């Protein structure tokens, strides 16, 4: 799906400035809600704000590093084997990230569990490599991946914030809602993640619909 969107936009995208590459991932193509890519981590590790944030940052790092790497070697890779080559590059960077997390922040690494290696199969990364980095120079690729990654992190933080405050009554583990608050247990269960995701996608649809109808009037 993302691929066809990208192809349609390509002619004008080539003439766009660097700042546009950065900004478009933040709202226009915000990853988990608009493109509906990378849903697995967006739903699985957002039961607390801290987990959502660290997953977002890990994905951001892998995304930027792999987009930079692919953009540098893009002319050396034969088109027939490009997907396999990308996957190996991503898997290598993810291994580095995973070992780093295990060494520096064992608690977070344990909480994220197998979802760190699963960044390899996050469709956002392969999607950006295929749609952007393989045909653009290094600098635009970095901006593009940075924007997409920050947008993705923002999505995870939004999910984690709502789920933690409704599910535990806390933020970053500090209780902020008092004894009067009855936690919504369902928000920390898988079902709550799906329900919230549905609600947030509808909200993004609503806001962008409102924006576009305002734009037509003006």
CB of 139 to other proteins, least distance (A): 27
Gap between the Cα atoms of 138 and 46, Å rounded: 32
Q: How far is the CB of 82 from other proteins (least distance, A)?
A: 12
In the complex, the smallest distance separating the C-beta of residue 92 from other proteins, rounded to whole angstroms, is 6
Q: How many CA atoms lie within 13 A of 116 on its CB side?
A: 25
* Nearest to other proteins of 53, 126 (CB atom): 126
Question: Which is nearer to other proteins, 123 or 171 (by Cβ)?
Answer: 123
The nearest distance, CB 202 to other proteins, in angstroms, is 4
By the criterion CB under 8 A, which residues form the site for other proteins?
A: 1, 36-37, 39-41, 43-44, 83-84, 87-88, 91-92, 94-95, 98-99, 113-114, 117-118, 120-123, 126, 186, 189-195, 197-199, 201-203, 205-206, 209
H runs (alpha helix) in 77-168: 82-104, 106-112, 123-131, 138-167
End-to-end CA distance of the chain: 31
At its nearest, how many Å lie between other proteins and the CB of residue 196?
8
CB of 65 to other proteins, least distance (A): 15
In the complex with other proteins, the residue whose CB is nearer, 137 or 190, is: 190
Cβ-Cβ contacts under 8 Å for 52 (sequence gap 6 or more): 45, 46, 156, 157, 159, 160, 161
107 or 199: CB nearest other proteins: 199
Tell me whether residue 91 or residue 138 sits nearer to other proteins (CB atom).
91
DSSP 8-class letter at 113: G
Q: Which residues contact 55 (CB under 8 A, 6 or more apart)?
A: 41, 45, 46, 112, 115, 116, 156
Q: Which residue, 137 or 199, has its beta carbon nearer to other proteins?
A: 199
- The closest alpha carbon to 42, from 67, 24, 59, belongs to 59
Please state, in angstroms and rounded to a whole number, the distance separating the CA atoms of residues 157 and 189.
17
């Amino acid at each position: 799906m993302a691929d066809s969107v990208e192809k349609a936009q390509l002619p004008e995208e080539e003439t766009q400035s660097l700042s546009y590459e950065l900004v478009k991932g933040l709202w226009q193509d915000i990853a988990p809600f608009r493109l509906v890519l990378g849903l697995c981590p967006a739903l699985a590790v957002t039961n607390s704000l801290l987990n959502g944030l660290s997953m977002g940052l890990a994905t951001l790092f892998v995304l930027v590093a792999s987009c930079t790497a692919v953009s540098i070697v893009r002319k050396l890779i034969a088109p027939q084997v490009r997907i396999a080559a990308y996957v190996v590059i991503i898997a290598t960077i993810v291994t580095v990230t995973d070992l780093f997390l295990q060494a520096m922040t064992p608690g977070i690494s344990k909480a994220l569990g197998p979802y760190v290696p699963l960044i390899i199969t996050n469709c956002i990364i392969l999607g950006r490599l295929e749609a952007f980095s393989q045909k653009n120079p290094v600098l635009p690729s970095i901006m593009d991946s940075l924007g997409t990654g920050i947008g993705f992190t923002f999505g995870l933080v939004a999910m984690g914030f709502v789920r933690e405050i409704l599910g535990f009554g806390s933020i970053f583990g500090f209780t902020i809602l008092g004894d009067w608050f009855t936690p919504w247990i369902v928000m920390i269960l898988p079902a709550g993640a799906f329900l919230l995701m549905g609600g947030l996608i509808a909200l993004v649809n609503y806001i962008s619909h409102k924006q576009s109808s305002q734009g037509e009037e003006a």
